[in-house]
Amino acid sequence: MSKTKTTGVTHYEILFIIPNRFTDDEAKTVSSSVEKIIADNDGIVTLREYWGKKRLAYEIKHNAFGYYSLFEFDLEGNKLAKIDTTLRLSAEVLRHQIVVKHAKSEAAIAKEAKIRVKIDSKKAADSKKQEEKTKIPSPSSTASRVGDKVDKRVDLKDLDEKLEGILNAKDLI
Amino acid sequence: MTNKKTKECYFCVNNLEVDYKDTRTLRRFVNFYMKILPGARTGVCAWHQRKLSDAVKRSRVMALLSATHK
């Protein structure tokens, strides 16, 4: 959790676990109550995600399962501590974590999109190169394989003839 | 874990951000005992390795990732 006491508005992200003793509907109401706590402290919730019931990686207070819920919100930095304490003291929330999330500006998003296009084109070019590389030796290798097969067939025929010859010779004796 | 031959940073190459909620990706940079692998082994650059270690620890706190292999 960030311990900054800035007065400006910051973008935060909170993820919390609701214990397994609640039902799915009850967990949703708990989730909305957390949202209310944020709203009471003049926070503006911008994103709501409810992950539902998930298995915890390890037991927390004898809970093997928990309901995960995620919010993103804008809040003044000095009001964060209050939300943190209320959630820490509440029995309805098993564990929570507040993280500073840098909201992306439009310019940053555009820049990322540009980089993505560049990467994709590079990947495509690389895969093409690899295909060409694999194509060149492939006909020769297949030809050699065919040749091997032909050789084997000839061998088998020869063997058959020899065998027949031997058998016939034995009959004669 | 990335291939030994390709020593490129996974996050730089794919233009990804390290996210503590994305356990499937984080799992690649953690060994069987759930210990964070060194950047020299996985090829992650120093800048992303710092973000990665933070993300793994955050993930452990929220029980998304185990702290031990059991």
Largest Cα–Cα distance in chain A? Answer: 113
At which residue do the structure tokens 């060409």 appear? Answer: A132
Domain count of the fold of chain A: 2
- Please check whether residue A1 touches B, CB under 8 A: no
A65 and A119 both lie in a single domain: no
Q: Are residues A79 and A19 in the same domain?
A: yes
Residue A80 to residue A96: CA distance in whole angstroms: 13
Q: Does any domain span residue A156?
A: no
Q: What is the pLDDT of residue A131?
A: 84
Question: CB burial class (10 A; 0-12, 13-18, 19+) of residue A127?
Answer: exposed
d(CA B3, CA B12): 16
Strand A63-76: give its sheet, edge to edge: A44-60, A63-76, A9-19, A95-100
Facing residue for A57 by CB, picked from B20, B21, B64: B64
- Give the closest of B20, B21, B63 to A60, CB-based: B63
Considering only the beta carbons, identify the residue of A58, A99, A115 that sits closest to B63. Answer: A58
| pLDDT surpassing 60 at residue A172 | no
Displacement of CA A26 from its chain's centroid (Å): 29
Q: What is the CATH number of the domain that holds A29?
A: 3.30.70.60
Residues A71 and A58 in one domain: yes
**In B1-70, at which residue ranges do the beta strands (DSSP E only) sit?**
none
Would you kindly state where each structural domain of chain B is located, as residue ranges? Answer: 10-61
A4 falls within a domain = no
The predicted-structure confidence for A151-166, as pLDDT tens digits, reads as follows 555 677 788 888 777 7
pLDDT in tens, A11-69: 999 999 999 999 999 999 999 999 999 999 989 999 999 999 999 999 999 999 999 99
> Does residue A25 sit within a domain?
yes
- The confidence score (pLDDT) of residue A115 equals 83
Contact assessment for residue A27 and residue A93, using Cβ atoms and an 8 Å cutoff: no
- Given the structure tokens 């949703």, which residue do they identify? A28
Q: How far apart are CA B64 and CA A79, in angstroms?
A: 27
Specify whether A64 is located in the same domain as A89: yes
Interface of A with B in 70-89 (CB under 8 A): 70
Q: Are residues A113 and A52 in the same domain?
A: no
Start-to-end C-alpha separation, chain B: 20
> By residue range, what is the domain housing residue A90?
9-103
Does residue A88 fall inside a structural domain? yes
CATH architecture of B10-61: Irregular (4.10)
In a domain, A145, yes or no: no
- Pair (A125, A62) in one structural domain: no
My answer on whether A114 and A81 are in the same domain is no
For residues A57 and A122, membership in a common domain is answered with no
| One domain for residues A21 and A75 | yes
How far is residue A33's CA from residue A27's CA, in Å, rounded to a whole number? 10
Q: Which chain A residue has its CA at the smallest distance from B14's CA?
A: A119
For residues B50-64, average pLDDT: 94
Q: Tell whether A130 is covered by a domain.
A: yes
CB atoms within 10 A of CB B39: 19
Write the pLDDT tens digit of every residue in A81-134. Answer: 999 999 999 999 999 999 998 877 777 888 888 888 888 888 888 888 888 888
**Same domain, yes or no, for A68 and A133?**
no
